[in-house]
């Protein structure tokens, strides 16, 4: 995935409200292999997930989400089976509430 001209969603992650969710999905990493992802919280700017893949800060992912479809994200940190990702483009305000509702549906 190329990020030429891409601009990361801008916000200090620690100041952004996160919604707690529990949603299983797939992500595709830099090696183009799909991996299982358990999203545990989300904001319009990014998410935190649990996964077994050994991602590193700076890795680019494609994550499948309900409502918005596939979205690009950059791994900002990875530690002990958890990853924090920042979306390359923030989730639109009109899509965010339906997205959270869908992520909470089991």
pLDDT tens for residues 4-60?
Answer: 344 445 445 456 789 999 999 999 999 999 999 999 999 999 999 999 999 999 999
What are the tokens at 38? 């358990």
Domain boundary assignment for the chain: 16-104
pTM: 0.83
Residue 1 has pLDDT above 70, yes or no: no
pLDDT given at position 105: 84
Q: What is the DSSP letter of 103?
A: H
The Cα 77–Cα 99 span in angstroms is 23
Architecture of domain 16-104: Beta Barrel (2.40)
pLDDT given at position 38: 97
């Amino acid at each position: 995935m190329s990020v030429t001209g891409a601009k990361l969603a801008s916000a200090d992650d620690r100041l952004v409200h996160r919604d707690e969710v529990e949603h299983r999905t797939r992500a595709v990493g830099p090696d183009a292999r799909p991996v299982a992802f358990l999203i545990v919280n989300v904001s319009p700017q990014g998410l935190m997930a649990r996964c077994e893949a050994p991602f590193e800060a700076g890795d680019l992912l494609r994550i499948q989400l309900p409502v918005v479809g596939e979205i690009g994200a950059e791994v900002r940190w990875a530690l002990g089976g958890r990853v924090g990702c920042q979306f390359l483009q923030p989730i639109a305000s009109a899509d965010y509430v339906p997205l959270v509702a869908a992520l909470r549906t089991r």
